Copies of this chain bind each other. A is one copy, B any other.
Amino acid sequence: MANSRFEYVKSFEQPDVLLPNTWIVVRIDGRGFHKLSDRYGFVKPNDRRALDLMNAAAVEVMKELPDLCVAYGVSDEYSFVFHPSCQLFERRNGKLVTTIVSTFTAHYIYLWNTYFPDTPLQPPYLPSFDGRAVIYPTTGILRDYMSWRQVDCHINNLYNTTFWAMVQQGGINNTDAELELKGTVSSDKNEILFSRYGINYNNEDEMYKKGSVVYRQYQLEEPKSKPASGHEDESTPISEKQPSKSQQEKLRKLRRKAQVVVEHVDIIKDDFWERRPWILSNKPGKLPAEADV
């Protein structure tokens, strides 16, 4: 029985290959996590269990997809970054995004009980995530994207920390707290925290203030005198940079050997990137073990 009579419907599928030689960022977001965090009793302003669970799921995604260079998470969102030379799934948008969303979701659900041992999932109210891919043509702009997310983390966390201090410690109701914070700048919030509640924002948990950056760990390098711009690569024609299928597979194997780590550090300044040049260059560094020898 031939299927040819109906097979023409395949012709309606449209290609969605992402422009070559551009950075690919897949950002996923929790769906309806405001409501969900109430249902499952997330601690405000930050629930360490929930954040650790996000990070654990992100680490699994990084391990499963060695083509990923780096990821950055804050609150219920995570950004995963593929290098411009990435050829995974022929750079098909839908395939890349859904694979990350599904893999992340699978581990998030699977690991839930580990991080919330006393709070079982209540179907049908299961956590889920949506996602999208965005491409960036230069390393400078990719760096700006990462900075954007980390600045956002800072802005939101300072706000939330202050808001919940006012509500939880100050006994102010939500509306009044919101009203009072309207129009305040960072220094105002720092002042409220310190003078009223004795909280020094600088002493807050680094994970809450900086978010979480996930990457493969190699031996750190000395920052160069002249900041490594990460841009020199871009003058090289992509034809010379695009690794062959076997080179890609070799690179994947190398990357699988590296440990995936989660850190809570500044990724806006150059230092983070200069000491970990493998993240933007996509060339695996020296494994710490090798370095020790």
Q: Is A48 at the interface (CB under 8 A from chain B)?
A: no
Contact A12 B135 (CB under 8 A): yes
Residue of B nearest to A107 (CB): B126
User: For the complex, what is the distance from the CA of A207 to the CA of B138, rounded to whole Å?
Assistant: 35
Q: Is A265 at the interface (CB under 8 A from chain B)?
A: no
User: For the complex, what is the distance from the CA of A188 to the CA of B148, rounded to whole Å?
Assistant: 56
**Chain B nearest Cβ from A115, distance in angstroms:** 14
- A-B CB proximity, top 10 nearest: A137-B137, A6-B148, A8-B239, A102-B128, A140-B235, A106-B126, A138-B234, A109-B109, A98-B130, A105-B105
List B contacts of A101 (CB < 8 A). 98, 101-102, 105
**Chain B nearest Cβ from A177, distance in angstroms:** 20
Binding site for B on A (CB under 8 A): 1, 3, 5-17, 19-22, 28, 31, 60, 63-64, 84, 93-95, 97-99, 101-103, 105-110, 121, 123-124, 126-141, 144-145, 147-148, 151-152, 154-155, 185-186, 229, 231-232, 234-239, 242
**Chain B nearest Cβ from A58, distance in angstroms:** 13
Prevailing SS type, chain A contact patch? helix
List B contacts of A6 (CB < 8 A). 144-145, 147-148, 151, 237, 239
User: For the complex, what is the distance from the CA of A121 to the CA of B102, rounded to whole Å?
Assistant: 16
User: For the complex, what is the distance from the CA of A13 to the CA of B145, rounded to whole Å?
Assistant: 11
List B contacts of A234 (CB < 8 A). 137-140, 231, 234
User: For the complex, what is the distance from the CA of A19 to the CA of B14, rounded to whole Å?
Assistant: 8
List B contacts of A11 (CB < 8 A). 20
Contact B8 A237 (CB under 8 A): yes
Contact A148 B19 (CB under 8 A): no
Residue of B nearest to A142 (CB): B9
Contact A21 B126 (CB under 8 A): no
User: Given contacts A98-B131, A130-B95, are A237 and B137 in contact (CB under 8 A)?
Assistant: no
